[in-house]
Amino acid sequence: MNVNIWIPLLLATLAGLSTLIGSFLGIVVHKPGPRFMAATLGFSAGVMVLVAFVELLGQGIQSIGFGPAQLAFFGGLLIMFLIDNSIPHDYLAEHNLTDGHHVNRNLARTGLFVALGIAIHNFPEGLAVFAGGVFNLKLGAAIAIAIALHNIPEGVAVSVPVYTATGSRRKAFLWSALSGLAEPLGAVAAALFLMPILNQAVLGYVLAAVAGIMVFISIDELVPTSRACGHEHLSIAGFIGGMMVMSFSLWLMML
């Protein structure tokens, strides 16, 4: 397939480096407000779920058939489950965004371990952005935006403990940036290993697997974290809003 890989790679890079937005919020305003986080994370989850089922899995079924696409979809779910079970990571919001942040001498180490966990989780997200962008640049951009939104609290989770423990904005930004760089690395790995063998069938398997990855991220991370912010109605409103906006965007793409 003759495709331009540079724009999908750029999208993955921008999505990954959105952790710096969270880092900025964590350092300058300490943490984003719970209402903002509830609505934003719910919105991101809604976008991901709708894209996964309507576009990615649908395209996979169209390319390789219902049975193989379902196997690839659940394969993507299983891969993310194994990664999450082996290397868990925390959002600051999962410890309740409305609570105070306790300072102790282990904060710097905590921030570094969170950064490592987030980096490993971000790797398949880079693949998701790349695969979506290869299939359709507008779809890739939508996936990148959704992932960028959910990377904001990840930047907070890395920067706050590091900055609190060291007092260094530079170190907090550095570790946030390094955790986000795993995303473009995932896209580069996809480009190196997928592009030489990419055809319609391979793309169908990849898109269906990416759908599984995105559904897992939504139900395991985004929805629980959004609800943990203490504004459940905003969380569900954001989720529905994300689905509606994504549906409208896909409809516009078909015109």
DSSP string, the chain: -----HHHHHHHHHHHHTHHHHHHHHHHSSS--HHHHHHHHHHHHHHHHHIIIIIIHHHHHHHH-HHHHHHHHHHHHHHHHHHHHHS----GGGG-TTSPPPP-TTHHHHHHHHHHHHHHHHHHHHHHHHHHHHH-HHHHHHHHHHHHHHHHHHHHHHHHHHHHHH--HHHHHHHHHHHHHHHHHHHHHHHHHHGGG--HHHHHHHHHHHHHHHHHHIIIIIHHHHHHTT-HHHHHHHHHHHHHHHHHHHHHHH-
Looking at residue 34, what is its pLDDT?
Answer: 81
> Is 142 within a domain?
yes
Give residue 119's pLDDT. 78
* In-domain check, residue 234: yes
In a domain, residue 120? The reply is: yes
Q: How many domains does the chain have?
A: 1
Residue 1 in domain: no
pLDDT for position 106: 53
Predicted local confidence at residue 212, as pLDDT: 93
Domain assignment present for 146: yes
Give a yes or no: residue 204 inside a domain: yes
Give me the pLDDT at residue 113, please: 63
pLDDT of residue 86: 82
Judge whether 61 lies within some domain.
Answer: yes
Q: Does residue 180 belong to any structural domain of this protein? A: yes
Question: What residues of the chain score a pLDDT lower than 70?
Answer: 1-3, 29-32, 88-114, 117, 161, 164, 253-255
pLDDT digits (tens, 9 = 90+) for 50-109: 889 988 899 899 999 999 999 999 999 999 898 888 876 555 444 444 444 444 445 566
Please tell me the predicted confidence (pLDDT) of residue 105.
47
- pTM above threshold 0.75: no
Domain range for 52: 6-254
